[in-house]
Amino acid sequence: MAVIDIKSKIKNINIVIGCTNRCPYCYARCTAKRFHITDNFSVPQFYESKLRLLENPKPLAYLLTGMSDFADWTDEWKMKIFERIARNPQNQFLFLTKSPERISFDCDLDNVWMGVTVTRAAELKRIRLLKENVKCKHYHVTFEPLHEDVGEVNFDGIDWTVIGTETGKRKGKISAKPEWVENIVRQAQPKGVPVFMKEELAPIMGDKMIQQYAPNLICEVK
């Protein structure tokens, strides 16, 4: 199969840049430092002028937390962003957090997908906390970077899952093992949860690569 780069299907728009998490593997922090995007990545900044980018009349899928964590967003930022999302039902909008315990949020829009990042078994509680603290129509889980076998996963109520390995040249970098990935797939598929393995997993998974989309997630970027 031809391996698909997820960035060709889901477009990143970073209306908020910065994150209070200090993950040692964070590509966003390194990118911000390298290109001098922000003076202090640990202090999230809201770029209101980018809201216009959400107005594309052609149906697209957007990730709005590629360089931030939804848990750091202020109520004012959420209000302005979700007002724009509500006016653009033709587009799908995805969000991720590592801190669902810090969020209390309700959204009944059909085009909003709220998710958590899980890298280790100890972080699986984030899935439960997301569903408890964030009420929405669609939930997703991203296992990236996958740093160990996460064990048993509760996929009830989850609409999509993405799996990826650590990239870059960090000292102590952990590459995902095939059996870690396969463990997730074995549990997701019986629950009817589509699995998308990111392109960096191709050398690891070989002909076992799976790249599936949730049926109602529009994923075309022009």
Decide yes or no: CATH 3.80.30 for domain 6-208. yes
User: Is residue 163 within 8 Å of 198, Cβ to Cβ?
Assistant: yes
Confidence check: pLDDT of 17 > 60 = yes
Q: What is the pLDDT at residue 32? A: 85
| pLDDT on residue 173 | 94
Q: Which pLDDT tens digit goes with each residue over 149-187?
A: 999 999 999 999 999 999 988 889 999 999 999 999 999
Is the bond preceding residue 215 a cis peptide, omega within 30 degrees? Answer: no
Rounded-to-integer distance, Cα 180 and Cα 194, Å: 17
- Average pLDDT over the chain reads 95
- b/e 155-168 (16+ beta carbons within 10 angstroms → b): beebbbbbbbbbee
- Cα 173 from Cα 168, distance rounded (Å): 8
Give residue 158's pLDDT: 98
The CA-atom distances, in angstroms, between 155 and each of 16, 84, 129, 178, 188 are 29, 30, 13, 20, 6
Domain map (residue ranges) of the chain? 6-208
Give residue for tokens 């076998």: 149
Q: Pick the range with the lowest mean pLDDT from 11-15, 53-57, 216-220.
A: 216-220
- Return the HEC string of the chain: CCCCCHHHCCEECCCEEECCCCCCCCHHHHHHHHCCCCCCCCCCEECHHHHHHHHCCCCCEEECCCCECHHHCCHHHHHHHHHHHHCCCCCEEEEEECCHHHCCEECCCCCEEEEEECCCHHHCHHHHHHHHHEECCEEEEEECCCCCCCCCCCCCCCCEEEECCCCCCCCCCCCCCHHHHHHHHHHHHHHCCCEEECHHHHHHHHHHCCECCCCCCCCCCC
| Average pLDDT value for residue range 56-84 | 97
* pLDDT confidence band for 3 (50 / 70 / 90): very high
Average pLDDT for 131-154: 98
